[in-house]
Amino acid sequence: MTGLKTPQPTNRFRNNAKSVDIGNSFWKISERNGLAGIVAELDDGILRTGVGHEFVNFSCCSYLDLDSHPKVIEGAVAALRTYGVLDHCIPRSRVQIPALLELETSLGELFAADAVSAVSASVASAGLLPLIASGHVGDGIRPLMIFDKNCHVSMAQAKPLCADETEIVTCRHHDLDFIEDRCKEYARVWYICDGSDSLGGYAPVKELADLQDRYGLQVFYDDSHSVSAFGTRGIGYVRSTSPALDDRTITVTTLNKAFGTSGAAILLNGHPQETLRIIERFAGALSYSQPLNTAAVGAGLASAEIHRTDELITLQRRLQDRIALFDSRIATSQSGNTFPIRLVPMDDSEVIEAGRRVFEAGFYVSPVFFPIVARGTAGLRVMLRAGHTDRQVSELCAVLEEVGAPSATPVRPETGA
């Protein structure tokens, strides 16, 4: 049929055509080189493909290896036995099993907050941010919402939803001057960012707290990559560092990474009970029949108990030892911080080949490229874990040096006799 109209996109807050057209070429190259779509079985920390290739995974977010902890596994099994159902498929606002409330109470005590659970951080952010936009989570004033340019897709994907409720802008990465100028201009401002960045590094939490004190700025953090790995009892970077832990600050964190289980938690302080009910009833998928399943709840309860013991401290120290060992060999812009992710810089034209050579040597690291990172900033993303051995880290570093990674201790040229 001819003469029919084709809708034209506005692309105000997302552009799939651009992202897919550019990014998919790298994904296809990754797959052709065996760096994507890998299928492998795990046996005592070693992955093995169907053709027998063995490798150590340095691209896993379970930084403390709690996802395989016997107590976490048994916690999941015990909850299933106790409640006799995997997924009680009904909105929690109508009926819920006691274990879900027990988990939220445990997480609330651990993080010193009101905790609302979700099946994922993406679901939590997609449900909560539009309620912030409309003023229903807050003081009723529709805010200007500033999304950090580098904020994770789990938050950025909510821009179109929020734009139907309020005004949305995007700022350069942690542009404090821009944020302050908007605070002088608008009655209410929310800043949306990562508390711990998936490419390494932390948000300027103390500087943002100063803006919160001076202007009433409110901040929404996703601190998924630092929870458990950082802070007393694993409360994460934001809650360990920010002096503004009240109704001006909301933190979302996944439980899938260093916490070692499944799901996510929204952490709030100083919000009335009515706000918690609004979230439960109207925050998108949080209000559907999709609460955490029973196994995830049981595993979460077990992990939370580990967080209250000295074992967590031992695991955190072991992780920091692995990070320090890596930094002693390979130079990255993250060197010297406590974050478990390192981005080894590579040219766009070289990153896939470098990743392939590392994989053939028995280690998997993720090649990252646009739109995962900005154009021209490709690299190999290394994720260090407490369960890695010193030998595994050292051998990985040797391979990275062979494929062109910058050494932390450059060899000095020999001088003549």
Inform me whether the pLDDT recorded for 417 exceeds 50: no
Check residue 410 and give its pLDDT: 55
Helices (H), 4-55: 16-32
Q: Are residues 381 and 366 in contact, defined by beta-carbon separation less than 8 angstroms? A: yes
Can you give the pTM of this predicted structure? 0.92
The per-residue pLDDT of the chain, averaged, comes to 92
* 74-130 pLDDT per residue, tens: 999 999 999 998 887 788 878 888 888 999 999 999 999 999 999 999 999 999 999
Q: For position 158, what pLDDT does the model report?
A: 95
Q: What is the pLDDT of residues 314-342, one digit of tens each?
A: 999 999 999 999 999 999 999 999 999 99
Q: Does 368 have pLDDT greater than 90? A: no
- Is the pLDDT at 370 greater than 80? The verdict is no
User: What are the C-alpha distances in Å from 28 to residues 33, 350, 357?
Assistant: 9, 15, 17
pLDDT of residue 91: 80
CB distance 223 to 238 below 8 Å: yes
Max Cα-Cα span within the chain: 83
pLDDT digits 0-9 by tens, 139-185:
899 999 999 999 999 999 999 999 999 999 999 999 999 999 999 99
Give the Cα separation of 416 and 26 in Å (integer): 46
Tokens of 163: 């734009």
In this prediction, residue 43 carries a pLDDT of: 87
Flag whether pLDDT at 364 surpasses 60. Answer: yes
pLDDT for residue 288: 84
End-to-end CA distance of the chain: give it in Å, rounded: 83
Q: What is the mean pLDDT of residues 198-227?
A: 94
pLDDT of residue 413: 43
Residue 195, pLDDT score: 96
Q: Looking at 4-8, 144-148, 255-259, 360-364, which range is the least confident one?
A: 4-8
In angstroms, the Cα distances linking 192 to 149, 156, 316, 338 are: 9, 9, 28, 23
Report the pLDDT averaged over residues 356-372: 89
Sign of the dihedral defined by the CA atoms of residues 285, 287, 290, 296, in that order? positive
Q: Which residue has the higher pLDDT, 200 or 349?
A: 349
CA 116, CA 114: separation in Å to the nearest integer? 7
Q: What is the pLDDT of residues 346-358, one digit of tens each?
A: 988 889 999 999 9
How many alpha carbons fall within 13 Å on the CB side of residue 206? 2
- Rounded to 5 degrees, φ, ψ at 266 are -95, 125
Q: Which CATH architecture has domain 34-48+310-348+360-402?
A: Alpha-Beta Complex (3.90)
Task: Return the residue matching tokens 């630092």.
Answer: 226
pLDDT of residue 27: 83
Report residue 411's pLDDT band, with 50, 70 and 90 as the boundaries. Answer: very low
Give the rounded percent of residues in the chain with a pLDDT score beyond 90: 76
CATH 3.40.640.10 fits 68-306, yes or no: yes
**Starting at the edge strand that comes first in sequence, how are the strands of the sheet with 46-49 ordered?**
40-43, 46-49, 54-57, 363-364
Average pLDDT over residues 217-231: 97
What pLDDT, on a 0 to 100 scale, did the predictor assign at position 21?
83
Does residue 204 contact residue 238 with C-beta atoms inside 8 Å? no
Q: Is the pLDDT of residue 280 over 70?
A: yes
Q: What is the pLDDT confidence band of residue 1, given thresholds at 50, 70 and 90?
A: low
What sign for the dihedral angle of Cα 201, 206, 207, 209? positive
The domains of the chain are located at 34-48+310-348+360-402, 68-306
- Residue 127 phi/psi, 5-degree rounding, is -85, -35
DSSP 383-397: E--TTS-HHHHHHHH
Closest by CA position to 320, among listed 333, 332, 337: 337
22-35 confidence digits (pLDDT tens): 778 888 888 999 99
State the pLDDT at residue 371: 66
Sign of CA dihedral 260, 46, 48, 325: positive
